[in-house]
Amino acid sequence: MSTNPHPASAGHAAVPGAPVRQGGAPADSPWAPAGANLSAPREKGDGASAGLYGAPAQQSGPAVAYHAPDALRLFRECFRALADNVERVLMGKRDTVELALTALFAEGHLLIEDVPGTGKTTLARALAASLNASWQRVQFTPDLLPSDITGVSMFRQTTNTFEFLPGPVFANIVIGDEINRASPKTQSALLEVMEEARVTVDGSAHPVPRPFMVVATQNPVDMSGTYPLPEAQLDRFLMRLSVGYPDTRSEIQVASGAAGAASVETLPAIATAQHIGEFIEVARNRVQAAEPVVDYAVRIAQATRTSPHLKLGAGPRGSVALIRAAKVRAASQERGHLLPEDVKDLAEPVLTHRLMLAPDAELAGWTPESVLADILATVPAPVVGGLAGARR
């Protein structure tokens, strides 16, 4: 098991290659609002604190940045700055990077599946390094125990009491490397914390820091030494991505150590956990989902449940995840409303890992991706602003 060598302190943890700035992002954040002092601590008064943009917020939750008139513009600039930063080490994979950030701002979990050597762990580490927040890394192995992840209660003879020792899951970003090399019992240790953001040990519930995100990597299930993730755990992931091999030009740049390439250790932090928490609220509250677009997402999910090619379709959690991800996509383009194309473009990474092929469909050569593509071609998109899926 490998963990972050810089433990969390005072709400923020050191990120390799980036100094900690208490209460704010690095001073040179390109998306910072004009005149804002991001390195200054937040003011407190009357039990509440001032948000990043001056909006009041309760101490227990993120500042309500969605009250700011330019919140969507700031969201877009932060999103782009983070994508640029991660792409410095994962060159030529802009679409994949943006999907990973979409999962982050949707407050969802990310599963990265691909063959060895394609940059799965690099993407996960670069995402964590770009945030001035606490993160931990767990190397999943067959002998890993559930308590190695969640923590244990230890008896202290000096006090004659039990003391909870938190495991690596108590961080803003938890990187689970090669998660399908652990036993099913160990994999299931993540079920509760991924759904409820808390860990129950000996009858006591322990909340994890917010925002909270699990970024898990896995090799294809047909490789030796792997245990397929159960359907219940797959459903907890907002998205499943495949990094894929880089294009020829990008691979040449990486292989030759080109000046434009960077290592994860040298990446600067672009935002803090506080900023991410505030921007999660921006996407959730400032982007409006019209009823026809929500109905479109639900009809897509329902079509997977009735498809003759599928033994298991996407449940209601899939519909919710699709709308959450679509809202982030709209916010990243500085739009305050959803379009049908937001839902359609995100359907594959959000839904395919929730689908299970029927045996005869698998023998006939169908894949979850091809079944979903067939469904998307048959489920009509609603008309928005006079054109189906048109931008406004």
At 10-55, the pLDDT tens digits run 333 333 333 333 333 344 555 554 433 333 333 323 322 223 322 2
Residues 243 and 323 in one domain: no
Find the helix packing angle between 71-87 and 273-286, rounded to 10°: 130
Specify whether the backbone of 140 is left (phi greater than 0), alpha (psi in -120 to 50) or beta. Answer: beta
SS3 (DSSP) at 98: helix
Q: Worst-scoring range by mean pLDDT, 109-113, 150-154, 208-212, 251-255?
A: 251-255
Nearest to 248 by CA among 388, 62, 377, 91: 91
Query: What confidence score (pLDDT) does residue 285 get?
Result: 93
Q: Give every CB contact of residue 37 below 8 A, 6+ residues apart in sequence.
A: 24
CA dist 38 and 27 (Å) reads: 6
Higher pLDDT, 183 or 33: 183
For residue 327, give the CATH number of its domain.
1.10.8.80
Q: Would 194 be classed as within a structural domain?
A: yes
Higher pLDDT, 210 or 224: 210
Say if residue 317 is exposed, middle or buried (CB neighbours under 10 Å; 0-12, 13-18, 19+). middle
The secondary structure of 264-325 as a DSSP string is GGGPPP-EEHHHHHHHHHHHHHHSB--HHHHHHHHHHHHHHHH-TTEEE---HHHHHHHHHH
Q: Would 13 be classed as within a structural domain?
A: no
User: Omega before 211 cis (within 30°)?
Assistant: yes
Number of domains in the chain: 2
Residues 101 and 175 in one domain: yes
pLDDT band at 265 (very low <50, low <70, confident <90, very high): confident
Residues 238 and 175 in one domain: yes
Query: What confidence score (pLDDT) does residue 67 get?
Result: 62
Higher pLDDT, 211 or 14: 211
Contact between 177 and 217 (Cβ < 8 Å): yes
The range of the structural domain enclosing residue 151 comes to 56-259+267-286
* Terminal-to-terminal C-alpha distance of the chain: 49
CA torsion angle 351 294 75 98 (round to 10): 20
Nearest to 71 by CA among 282, 240, 227: 282
Compute the residue count for the chain. Answer: 392
pLDDT band at 276 (very low <50, low <70, confident <90, very high): very high
CA dist 19 and 42 (Å) reads: 19
Residues 129 and 230 in one domain: yes
> What average pLDDT does the segment 362-371 reach?
97
pLDDT tens digit sequence for 279-336: 999 999 999 999 999 999 999 999 999 999 999 999 999 999 999 999 999 999 999 9
Amino acid identity at 285: N
CA dist 55 and 50 (Å) reads: 6
Percent of the chain residues past pLDDT 70, beyond the cut = 78
pLDDT at 268 over 50: yes
The phi and psi torsions of 179 (rounded to 5 degrees) equal -60, -30
For residue 273, give the CATH number of its domain.
3.40.50.300
pLDDT band at 123 (very low <50, low <70, confident <90, very high): very high
pLDDT at 61 over 50: no
pLDDT at 84 over 80: yes
SS3 (DSSP) at 71: helix
> What average pLDDT does the segment 250-256 reach?
79
pLDDT at 350 over 70: yes
Mean predicted lDDT score pLDDT of the chain: 82
SS3 (DSSP) at 221: coil
The Cα angle at residue 370 between residues 91 and 376, in degrees rounded to 5: 95
CA dist 91 and 63 (Å) reads: 34
Higher pLDDT, 155 or 51: 155
Residues 276 and 306 in one domain: no
Q: Would 43 be classed as within a structural domain?
A: no
Q: Would 335 be classed as within a structural domain?
A: yes
Residues 130 and 212 in one domain: yes
The phi and psi torsions of 221 (rounded to 5 degrees) equal -65, -15
> What average pLDDT does the segment 124-149 reach?
92
Please list the residues that pair with 239 across neighbouring strands. 110
pLDDT band at 66 (very low <50, low <70, confident <90, very high): low
Q: Worst-scoring range by mean pLDDT, 101-115, 158-172, 244-258, 307-321?
A: 244-258
Residues 302 and 376 in one domain: yes
pTM attached to this predicted model: 0.81
Query: What confidence score (pLDDT) does residue 247 get?
Result: 84
Q: Would 150 be classed as within a structural domain?
A: yes
Residues 274 and 320 in one domain: no
Percent of the chain residues past pLDDT 90, beyond the cut = 57
Amino acid identity at 157: Q
Residues 236 and 191 in one domain: yes
Structural Rg of the chain based on CA atoms = 21
Q: Would 302 be classed as within a structural domain?
A: yes
Query: What confidence score (pLDDT) does residue 60 get?
Result: 36
> What average pLDDT does the segment 76-105 reach?
95
Residues 281 and 291 in one domain: no
pLDDT at 162 over 70: yes
Residues 271 and 318 in one domain: no
Contact between 330 and 339 (Cβ < 8 Å): yes
Q: Would 377 be classed as within a structural domain?
A: yes
Q: Would 199 be classed as within a structural domain?
A: yes
pLDDT tens digit sequence for 6-15: 343 333 333 3
Residues 249 and 292 in one domain: no
CA dist 307 and 317 (Å) reads: 18
